[in-house]
Structure 1
Amino acid sequence: MNGPLALSPAMADAVGRWLEGEAGTRDRSPHTISAYRDDAIAFLSFLGGYHGQAATPKSLSGLKQTDMRAFAAAERERGLSARSLARRLSAIRSFLRFLSDREGFDLSAALSARGPKYKRSLPRPLAQDQARALLDEAGSHHPKPWIAARDAAVLTLLYGCGLRISEALSLQGHDWPLAETLTIRGKGGRERMVPVLPVARDAIAGYLELCPWPMDPDEALFRGARGGALRAGVLERAVASMRQSLGLPPTATPHAMRHSFATHLLSAGGDLRTIQELLGHASLSTTQVYTGVDDAHLLAVYRKAHPRR
């Protein structure tokens, strides 16, 4: 088999127009668009090598299930996980549907090829006492009180509001003081409103009282040791040190605080659709993984407490 061939101009144009539509009408994030571009190019380049000629919109009209299976097999052979392959095939199907609609041919046979099955891993939240212990530790873990207060404030936002670490670190001076609700722009540019608990507001206020850097409306709210924007890696390393002190598992990361937010809300009777909105998930199926966490916890408690265990 020859190596992959370059895309034809017509195919490159088709990929570009598909990506424009995904970005414009489906509000995909730049990161997602970049991944989609890589997915399409990987597939079309494979077809070029597989068939010995560059793929064109016209040549794709004869695409078969065997082509899809051959591509999937090649991707698995080079080490792509089942989950990553399933995501890649989903993007490719989206492109093929766009192309078949635009060119007026039927690709239903190729699109019916099944993707790999994989078991979605459950989130790894902390128990409520572990989350509290981590927040307490954050408030005293660093010899510089303002840095300890900063880390505690960020982790309180992650746990109290369900923010992603990137969302918390994107806050700027003009966002302070926080109102009762906060508008967050998350993945895919989707905006959501999240309630701000008084404890989170108080934690940030405590950090700002100690912070040696002046508050600038156009600068990051959370500062690094030298005054620049706090980087996620700095907080991740700090949490790694804290979890060692507390004897917490390696899964105790900043992102685990967001998982804990969702899981503890669900355990307290929170509505799944509301939790979806608070987390900013595009699909309810993404939020439903937390029901698996809750069920697993209930089963563990049952097995531990049942008198006939």
Structure 2
Amino acid sequence: MTDFDTLTRGWLNHLAHERRLSPKTLEAYGRDIRQFAAFITEHLGGEPTLADIAALKPADLRAFLGRRRRDGVGNRTLMRQLAALRSLARFGERTGKLKAAAFAATRGPRIGKSLPRPLDASAAKAVTQADTRAGEDREEWILARDAAVLALLYGCGLRISEALSLTRAQAPVHAGDTLTVLGKGAKTRMVPVLPVVVTAISEYIALCPWRLPPDGPLFLGAKGGPLSPRIIQLAVESLRGALGLPSTATPHSLRHSFATHLLGRGGELRAIQELLGHASLSTTQIYTRIDSTRLMAAYDAAHPRAGR
């Protein structure tokens, strides 16, 4: 094992235990570094040491990104790989094992930011109502379960992973209840729960044929195991067809709808940031762009002088 391998292991351990990054992010970062190491081994003619890494120039890193692009990798993946390399270099500098200025000096590809695609209020409400799927050949408790999950996404702004990680003991069953949500980076936040969401969850619990122990998952699959996110995704796909919604209507679009509709009703941006669990206000500010875009579209459609 080279000293570069040892540094990489220490960095991944730091990300897992101190930064508490998700297993999927750790897997992606580990894969990024392995691909970089394989390229540099070929590029330099041997396995790289920390001295080799420190001697790299921006041209060497651009060569790596160019190779990845020729392999069919898109700009977002290239940016993530460059971010992983920069994070590794910073870790090496903090631990006194590596000084590699090339990582910070290398510019990544530009990525055009696309706006989230929220549903309008009537569509979002329809998606979260069990009655919308009443004609389907599904058990009543399953329709109630799916509606309760979707109500949490739209009514509380939860990610699907956050909703499905709730235990029975965490279920809000009284008006005025709040949820303590474990979000990204193992960060917790408090979220108020609307009465309509409480009602949806209570109806599901009353109909669920399986035992729901306090420390077990709140939402169960048809066979009594933990509910898979894919089941909720399929439910929304079915609703897309029934309601004539676009392909951008997904479980996550309900979270976007939550934020956009709050902002459109005068919600304060900092409060919406806290409800969503965003680490940075700049992440939440993208919803102001959606609101402005909708405002201009309404103006162009309705004002008698628009387009003239």
Provide the residue aligned with 2:232 in structure 1. 235
Q: What is the TM-score when the length of structure 2 is the normalising length?
A: 0.92
Quote the offset at 1:243 in angstroms: 1.5
Secondary structure of 2:181 counterpart? strand
Which amino acid is 1:94 matched to? S
Q: 2:157 aligns with which of 162, 165, 168?
A: 162
Query: How many angstroms apart in 2 are the aligned matches of 1:184 and 1:243?
Result: 28
Provide the residue aligned with 1:73 in structure 2. 66
* Coordinate RMSD, CA, aligned: 1.8
Query: How many angstroms apart in 2 are the aligned matches of 1:205 and 1:253?
Result: 24
Contact 2:133 2:239 (8 Å CA) reproduced: no
Quote the offset at 1:261 in angstroms: 0.5
Which amino acid is 2:142 matched to? I
Query: How many angstroms apart in 2 are the aligned matches of 1:220 and 1:106?
Result: 46
Q: 1:34 aligns with which of 27, 30, 40?
A: 27
Contact 2:149 2:163 (8 Å CA) reproduced: yes
Quote the offset at 1:263 in angstroms: 0.9
Which amino acid is 1:211 matched to? C
Query: How many angstroms apart in 2 are the aligned matches of 1:236 and 1:110?
Result: 39
Query: How many angstroms apart in 2 are the aligned matches of 1:25 and 1:269?
Result: 37
Structure 1 position 217 matched with structure 2 position 214: yes
Secondary structure of 2:95 counterpart? helix
CA shift in 2, pair 1:141/1:279, >3 Å? farther
Could you give the per-residue CA deviations for residues 239-294 of structure 1, whole angstroms, max 9, x where no partner exists?
11112111111111111111100111111122222212211122222222222221
Structure 1 position 151 matched with structure 2 position 139: no
Query: How many angstroms apart in 2 are the aligned matches of 1:167 and 1:105?
Result: 38
Which amino acid is 1:63 matched to? L
CA shift in 2, pair 1:109/1:207, >3 Å? closer
Quote the offset at 1:55 in angstroms: 0.9
Contact 1:57 1:99 (8 Å CA) reproduced: no
Quote the offset at 1:142 in angstroms: 3.6
- Aligned pairs for 1:1-12 within 5 A: 8-12=1-5
Structure 1 residue runs without a partner (length 5+)? 1-7
Secondary structure of 1:183 counterpart? strand
Which amino acid is 1:157 matched to? L
Name whichever of 34-43 and 171-180 sits farther off: 171-180
Which amino acid is 1:147 matched to? I
Query: How many angstroms apart in 2 are the aligned matches of 1:177 and 1:269?
Result: 26
Query: How many angstroms apart in 2 are the aligned matches of 1:256 and 1:279?
Result: 13
- Aligned pairs for 1:22-171 within 5 A: 22-103=15-96, 106-136=99-129, 137-138=131-132, 140-143=134-137, 144-171=139-166
CA shift in 2, pair 1:33/1:178, >3 Å? farther
Q: Between the two proteins, what is the percent identity of the paired residues?
A: 49
Query: How many angstroms apart in 2 are the aligned matches of 1:109 and 1:255?
Result: 37
Structure 1 position 208 matched with structure 2 position 205: yes
